Chain A
Amino acid sequence: MRAEPYVIWLADCTRDCLPVVGGKAIGLGALVREGFQVPAGFAISTSAYREHIDHNGLAGPLQALVTECTSLEAQKRASEEIRQLFEASRPSPRIEDEVLAAYARLYGDASAPVAVRSSATAEDLADASFAGQQETYLWILGGAEVLEHIVRCWASLFTPQAIAYRARPRSASLHGVNARTRVADLAMGVVVQRMVPAEAAGVMFTIDPVTGDPSGIVVEAAYGLGAAVVNGEVTPDRVCVDKVLLEIRSRTIGTKALAHRFDPAVQGTRLEEVPPLLQTQLCLTDDEVIHLAALGKKMELAMGRAQDMEWAIGAGRSGPREVFLLQARPETVWSQKPRRPLVQPESTVMDRILQAMRVPRPSASEADLRASQTGAPGSDRQMP
């Protein structure tokens, strides 16, 4: 009846599983297989999503709700109704069994905190960065809660933004998705991972996202969980590292006034203010930054292209703080630019020396003419 299992452990999330577990799970799977420290976890497959749609008879109502949904107001209304549909739905017993068994295996304890995150599949992968498909629920405790948030991730396929985005003709031409994407073709993976009690977290690019410098690694970091950086709620610390030397090039201290932290009182996360003294200090040590950059460099080398990564750092089992990687995906902005030579390929060293001295490059005919008039030998064509 079902082609794939509902639960796939991260280590088994290989490239060919992309339509089954989504991009986030694939990225994490690669990290695990490359030997990086990643919080243990598993993916919920798109088969589970489809089973859920079938089990609750959602296919018809969903298609009806999103069709002809062109105005912003209509999209909002449709999204809200869909959310209610999902909220009222219940996972099938088989899904429940498999997810609860995996959750129990994760800690050997059925009440430990996990993060539940959506993992977009191939069809929507290119769109994955737009809001609404990047649901992340932190500090989820207990099997019932885990199941409930998996369903919420599924529902996030139908945020107003997502509905609007799919309705845009541009989306079709850009990403090869039919403008009238059939609801039946959509699916969503989910990742469930142990929660890292992050003291600091953030993102890392293995290419300078501002200048495109391929020899630069940029780490952005703030206190608490990574959400503060990812959602742009704080100005993070920014440290640039030389990728070759693994030496720090520059440090810019951000204010990072807020931090998402676990609050035992509510058994969940809370946005807290960071004490002023800590705001003016870097939230990572130089050694930690270098360690992170080394991980980024290693991952880029393993994947063969620049990476856009998320990480967290928290108390180790003993001794110093430990770094966990939470996400790795190919960098998309600079990597997708066409690779053009930096200088005109036919230029000679002498052409370039003259350019370096800010001498405007004469057109070839003028240069040849002058060379023949002055008797100067072949002007700029005699360089080694």
Chain B
Amino acid sequence: MATVIDEPQTGRFRSPFEIETPPGAEGWREMYPPYLLFSEENRAFEDSVFWIWDSMHLPEVELPFDTHTHENWMPAFSVSNSRVFALPPSNGGTQRMLNGYEYVTLTPVTDPRELEARSTVFAARAGYYYQNWNELFERWKVKAEKLIGDMAALEVAERLPDLESDEFFRAHPAANSGQFLLRAYDTLMQMDITAWTYHFEMLNIGYAAYLNLFMFCRQAFPGITDQTLAHMLSGTETMYMRPDAELRKLARLAIDLGIGQRVASSADPQQVIAALRSDPAGQQWLQALESIKQPWFNLSTGNGLYHHHVSWNEDLRVPFKAMTGYIQTLQRGGSIDRPVNEINERKQRLTAEYRGLLQTEEDRQVFDQNLGLARTVATFIEDHAFIIHDWYHSVEWNKVREFGRFLANNRFIDQVDDLFYLNRWEVPQALFEAVSAWSSVTPCRGANGYWKGHVQKRKGIIEALRKWTPPPALGPVPTESDDPVMLMLYGLNTERIQSWLGVGDGSANVLRGVAASSGQATGTARVVRSVNELSQVHEGEILVCPLTEPAWSPIFSTIKAAVSDIGGIMSHSAIISREYGLPAVVGTGNGTTRIKTGDTITVDGTAGVVTIHAG
């Protein structure tokens, strides 16, 4: 990938207007809503700011419908900063799609007078949250779980009736099923906006408390690593630990019931389950399995932001593979207990030791306050991701599929998942047309190939875009010192961005990133670009991916080390890598392009360096 450096000091990535459409992807702009595209009308702004490819959240090319997640989350993130909490240094950011990938620009606030005015509002509002954090988080959980329940209960017709039934007529006089269907879609989209509003309600101010602790500790201990700081904060009993903990329990239960061998089978999970139904022990075990599926099997096999990131509920291979490993360990007489007490004791000891190194009693008091607040907010920061990214999204994608089923039943599309080739505004157009045609009992364009033609064409475009590698950034590198929001959310500072500009200048065999989990490992690289390729990973290989995902946990027990393109020290992946004791370097910018499957590489998770030895 060519990068252009205009100014020796600041540097500049290519303009979004210079990026060419990959061959075979002509017409890609028509897939996405106009507001998501770089445009001549808005060029003055778009060409003047710095854009980063958000490969931390969205490493794969996006189908048109999938962009609705960040179409909703980016304003929710921003409005919390700009209009609600008045987070002093940031108004959030905005987004554009380029060749099927999302680019983000952040909008920092730098005017000293504005910063001051905002800080008063922020102190009062965020202060209220910090003071009442646990209570507000309890309330938050109640409303978030209610939202998920309401969404699951949303009724979506598979087909519209030839004639409304008497029952329907009595319950809803003079209403009709078409009207209900359209309302259900609107409600779904409303709920998604609400979900993202909840998501950011406590997140940005939580990160502000993290930042406060990190800055203080870096001042006191200039050489302290980010991973050490993260370790001081990490909880051992977060929701993300539960699915795996439940699998360990199921593994033990299988052994106790004498059916370990039958569960730990290499057969397809559905066959295993069918076979277990035949006897009481099997039935008892299956009952236990069913009882934990809600909510714990809503763990996404990815980060939940793509429709194909199905959860364990839809794809039982991941949990069954993990249980097989646990059962085999138990059968060999090994232990599968997580040493929770040891982990907690070690964490406490380390924290006390750093505290003891502080030079004054005042510093120790400040440390206690900062750490106390950071640990308070950590409960939300760690658990919100499971509730929204995994649980909520599993329910949402499946609800969206119900509209896909309706459209497929009405011959608007061939298969349920073809819906995802329509964007969020095209789906209600199709639904509206279907309902109109149903109302007037007339044929319609949509059922006669209009949308199928679009889907077909877009499948080709998506395949072409999938082969394209997005540059890590676009536009001029900001000259301001590090943006604290950019640092906290994306793990990006000016130094790292500058290092991307150096791509191809000499050090071709060395990649630098964030040291996410300490240790060193050398082995064979396996480049995995999407969750669907995860099964190609062999034991003892080094995973190289756009981002590492907590829900890939079982894979982490077989790989040697992990490397990712983007990710900060607080990304869930970094936390899981530390938990598994795997060396990990995240935020390399372009590891998946520069490393090829089969390369021998060394991952130094302490220094944040990956070395490519040979192919």
Report A's interface with B, CB cutoff 8 A.
208, 211-216, 240, 242-245, 247-251, 339-343, 345, 347, 349-350, 352-360, 362, 366-367, 370-371, 374, 376-377, 379-380, 382-384
User: B316 at the A/B interface (Cβ < 8 Å)?
Assistant: no
Interface string of B88-119 (1 = CB under 8 A from A): 11000000000000000000000010011111
Please measure, in the bound complex, the distance between the C-alpha atom of A244 and the C-alpha atom of B353, giving whole angstroms.
6
Please measure, in the bound complex, the distance between the C-alpha atom of A62 and the C-alpha atom of B350, giving whole angstroms.
57
The interface stretch among B41-49, B120-128, B318-326 is: B120-128
Partner of B119, one of A240, A242, A347, A354: A354
Inter-subunit contact A349/B120 (CB<8 Å) = no
Report B's interface with A, CB cutoff 8 A.
87-89, 112, 115-124, 126-127, 130-131, 208-209, 211-212, 214-216, 219-225, 228, 350, 353-354, 357-360, 362-363, 366, 369-370, 372-373, 481, 484, 518, 606-607
Inter-subunit contact A248/B121 (CB<8 Å) = no
Inter-subunit contact B211/A249 (CB<8 Å) = no
Known pairs A349-B130, A359-B115; A215 contacts B354 (CB<8 A) = yes
- In the assembled complex, the CB of A55 is this many whole angstroms from the nearest CB of chain B, namely 50
| CB<8 Å pairs between A and B, sample of 11 | A214-B221, A240-B223, A242-B228, A251-B607, A341-B362, A350-B126, A357-B211, A359-B119, A382-B123, A382-B131, A384-B130
Report chain B residues within 8 Å CB of A382: 123-124, 127, 131
Please measure, in the bound complex, the distance between the C-alpha atom of A359 and the C-alpha atom of B122, giving whole angstroms.
11
Inter-subunit contact B607/A250 (CB<8 Å) = yes
Inter-subunit contact B606/A249 (CB<8 Å) = yes
Report chain B residues within 8 Å CB of A374: 120-121
Q: How many Cβ-Cβ contacts under 8 Å join chain A to chain B?
A: 145
- In the assembled complex, the CB of A267 is this many whole angstroms from the nearest CB of chain B, namely 43
Inter-subunit contact A249/B369 (CB<8 Å) = no
Inter-subunit contact B222/A208 (CB<8 Å) = yes
Inter-subunit contact A356/B228 (CB<8 Å) = no
Report chain A residues within 8 Å CB of B211: 353, 356-357
Inter-subunit contact A384/B131 (CB<8 Å) = yes
- In the assembled complex, the CB of B215 is this many whole angstroms from the nearest CB of chain A, namely 4
The residue on B at minimum CB distance from A353 is: B212
Inter-subunit contact A353/B360 (CB<8 Å) = no
Partner of A352, one of B119, B225, B366: B366
Partner of B88, one of A244, A245, A357, A380: A357
Find the residue from B116, B127, B358, B359 having the highest chain A CB count within 10 A: B127
Find the residue from A213, A352, A356, A377 having the highest chain B CB count within 10 A: A356
Please measure, in the bound complex, the distance between the C-alpha atom of A84 and the C-alpha atom of B131, giving whole angstroms.
78
- In the assembled complex, the CB of A271 is this many whole angstroms from the nearest CB of chain B, namely 32
Inter-subunit contact A357/B228 (CB<8 Å) = no
- In the assembled complex, the CB of B329 is this many whole angstroms from the nearest CB of chain A, namely 28
Please measure, in the bound complex, the distance between the C-alpha atom of A245 and the C-alpha atom of B228, giving whole angstroms.
9
- In the A-B complex, list the 10 residue pairs whose CB atoms are closest, starting with the nearest: A341-B362, A215-B221, A211-B222, A376-B124, A356-B215, A216-B223, A356-B212, A214-B357, A244-B353, A353-B212
Partner of A247, one of B369, B481, B606: B606
- In the assembled complex, the CB of B28 is this many whole angstroms from the nearest CB of chain A, namely 38
Inter-subunit contact B484/A357 (CB<8 Å) = yes
Inter-subunit contact B208/A360 (CB<8 Å) = no
Report chain A residues within 8 Å CB of B117: 370
- In the assembled complex, the CB of B262 is this many whole angstroms from the nearest CB of chain A, namely 44
Find the residue from A242, A357, A360, A377 having the highest chain B CB count within 10 A: A357
- In the assembled complex, the CB of B132 is this many whole angstroms from the nearest CB of chain A, namely 10
Partner of B216, one of A208, A247, A345, A352: A352
Please measure, in the bound complex, the distance between the C-alpha atom of A155 and the C-alpha atom of B223, giving whole angstroms.
43
Report chain B residues within 8 Å CB of A359: 88-89, 115-116, 118-119
Partner of B362, one of A251, A345, A379: A345
Inter-subunit contact A354/B88 (CB<8 Å) = yes
- In the assembled complex, the CB of B128 is this many whole angstroms from the nearest CB of chain A, namely 8
Inter-subunit contact A242/B208 (CB<8 Å) = no
Please measure, in the bound complex, the distance between the C-alpha atom of A376 and the C-alpha atom of B360, giving whole angstroms.
34
Inter-subunit contact B116/A242 (CB<8 Å) = no
Please measure, in the bound complex, the distance between the C-alpha atom of A242 and the C-alpha atom of B606, giving whole angstroms.
11
The residue on A at minimum CB distance from B213 is: A356
Inter-subunit contact B131/A244 (CB<8 Å) = no
Inter-subunit contact B363/A243 (CB<8 Å) = no
Partner of B366, one of A212, A342, A380: A342
Partner of A354, one of B122, B224, B357: B122
Inter-subunit contact A213/B225 (CB<8 Å) = no
- In the assembled complex, the CB of B357 is this many whole angstroms from the nearest CB of chain A, namely 4
The residue on B at minimum CB distance from A376 is: B124
Inter-subunit contact B120/A370 (CB<8 Å) = yes
Report chain B residues within 8 Å CB of A366: 116
Please measure, in the bound complex, the distance between the C-alpha atom of A212 and the C-alpha atom of B67, giving whole angstroms.
48
Report chain B residues within 8 Å CB of A362: 116, 119
Partner of A353, one of B208, B223, B481, B606: B208
The residue on A at minimum CB distance from B214 is: A356
Inter-subunit contact B223/A211 (CB<8 Å) = yes
Please measure, in the bound complex, the distance between the C-alpha atom of A340 and the C-alpha atom of B358, giving whole angstroms.
11
